[in-house]
């Protein structure tokens, strides 16, 4: 039996997915489908493959690849294929004939230039579900700009929703736009597969990173467009300008505590700051921006002064006892050692030997056991296997490798 045969567990077992993605959003989408049982063939370009193999986070690598790659490409097989060559495209066309899904995140018009756009591939296989992620969409003045997470956060106004008025923009340190786009595309592909069950035809699903982060900000953007006096940043270090105080993070004697939506009257009684009751009833009109910002700061300062007098554990226990929503602010060390966290972690074994800890699949199904997980593929690890499985003869595969149209792990060096 082939050690790298498709894993046969999960609701998507039996589906073949051609993964032409790089970086984060696309690979996370296809990895999610692989965790659900689909056979994911990651088609990488010669010359190094997916750049996340060598684009590191803080310089960290494992098993010869950046941790960014091994994190986002488990349950996949790696095929190195030159899609800029006629021979490489012909191989892809042959694979498309019995594929269920193809996912790519090229810049607009690149797929058309390569001859692997939806119109071309759906003519080969009308049942193909074709998913794509772009940065800003396929038209408009921004269409050719790089769709990078921080840049899209900045473009869409997200970075101005937190922090101090006197401070710089406040971006998320996470690649939240990529992650959101990956989820949207996964949902779209699954919906298209359901539709194909009744129509017999595939379709194209398009997601842009801008649309993804706009959906994440749907409450804020709608609220902004619904008022003549939207909130602005004030002097206090705000987590969000859209949330009523005391929503935020506060310093204690030995760490920090987060407060969510809490009733100021109850908070006043619990922590012993009666002035909060008066402040609650003296909210300025929405149109008086200066007074409203000062009101927010007065509440923050009053709460901050009190919470700074005792420990995180003291306040967390006291507020929780009275039903007030709060939580300890952890670093990764404390979070990853917490007993609640352990059920969401897993240990992976890499095909080159060795283990690593990472995040377990987030979705659980009642009718399927926990998914089988296989570590990320080495560069070109499955090129020969995938090509033979696509119906090419040994002679054809040997020629593709000799001509450098396809690359195996052996040839990488």
Q: Which residues are catalytic?
A: 178
Quote the CA–CA distance of 267 and 274 in Å, as a whole number.
Answer: 9
Locate 55 and state its tokens: 């684009």
Quote the CA–CA distance of 74 and 299 in Å, as a whole number.
Answer: 48
The sign of the CA dihedral 209, 215, 218, 220 is negative
Quote the CA–CA distance of 205 and 184 in Å, as a whole number.
Answer: 10
Cα-based angle 119, 137, 228 (whole degrees, multiple of 5) = 145
Quote the CA–CA distance of 226 and 229 in Å, as a whole number.
Answer: 9
The sign of the CA dihedral 208, 210, 211, 213 is positive
Quote the CA–CA distance of 259 and 305 in Å, as a whole number.
Answer: 14
Quote the CA–CA distance of 149 and 158 in Å, as a whole number.
Answer: 11
Beta bridge partners of 238: 163
The residue assigned the tokens 């595939």 is 202
8 A C-beta contact, residue 207 and residue 133: yes
DSSP state of 407: E
8 A C-beta contact, residue 249 and residue 257: yes
Q: Classify 248 as helix, strand or coil.
A: strand
Quote the CA–CA distance of 313 and 72 in Å, as a whole number.
Answer: 36
Beta bridge partners of 101: 17, 129
């Amino acid at each position: 039996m082939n050690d790298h045969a498709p894993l046969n567990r999960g609701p998507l077992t039996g589906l073949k997915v051609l993964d032409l993605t790089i970086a984060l959003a696309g690979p996370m989408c296809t990895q999610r489908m692989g965790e659900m049982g689909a056979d994911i063939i990651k088609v990488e370009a010669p010359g190094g493959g997916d750049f996340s193999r060598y684009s590191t986070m803080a310089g960290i690598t494992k098993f010869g690849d950046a941790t960014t790659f091994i994190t986002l490409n488990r349950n996949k097989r790696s095929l190195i294929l030159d899609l800029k060559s006629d021979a490489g495209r012909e191989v892809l066309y042959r694979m498309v004939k019995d594929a269920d899904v193809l996912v790519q995140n090229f810049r607009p018009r690149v797929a058309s230039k390569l001859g692997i756009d939806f119109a071309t591939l759906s003519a080969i296989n009308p049942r193909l579900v074709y998913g794509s992620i772009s940065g800003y969409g396929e038209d408009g003045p921004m269409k050719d700009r790089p769709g990078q997470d921080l840049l899209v956060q900045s473009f869409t106004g997200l970075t101005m929703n937190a922090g101090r008025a006197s401070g710089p923009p406040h971006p998320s340190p996470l690649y939240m736009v990529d992650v959101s786009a990956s989820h949207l595309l996964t949902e779209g592909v699954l919906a298209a597969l359901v539709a194909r069950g009744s129509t017999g035809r595939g379709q194209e699903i398009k997601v842009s990173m801008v649309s993804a982060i706009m959906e994440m900000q749907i409450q804020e953007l709608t609220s902004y467009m619904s008022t003549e006096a939207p909130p602005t940043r004030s002097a206090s270090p705000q987590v969000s300008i859209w949330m009523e105080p005391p929503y935020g993070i506060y310093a204690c004697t030995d760490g920090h505590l987060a407060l969510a939506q809490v009733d100021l009257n109850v908070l006043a009684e619990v922590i012993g700051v009666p002035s909060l009751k008066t402040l609650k009833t003296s909210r300025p009109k929405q149109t008086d921006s200066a007074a409203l910002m000062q009101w927010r700061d007065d509440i923050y300062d009053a709460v901050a002064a009190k919470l700074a007098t005792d420990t995180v554990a003291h306040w967390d226990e006291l507020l929780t006892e009275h039903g007030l929503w709060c939580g300890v602010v952890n670093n990764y060390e404390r979070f990853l050692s917490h007993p609640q966290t352990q059920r969401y972690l897993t240990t992976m074994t890499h095909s080159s030997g060795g283990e690593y800890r990472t995040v377990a699949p987030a979705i659980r199904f009642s009718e399927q056991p926990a998914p089988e997980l296989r570590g990320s593929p080495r560069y070109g690890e499955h090129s020969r296997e995938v090509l033979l499985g696509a119906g090419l003869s040994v002679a054809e595969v040997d020629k593709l490798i000799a001509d450098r149209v396809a690359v195996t792990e052996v040839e990488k060096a």
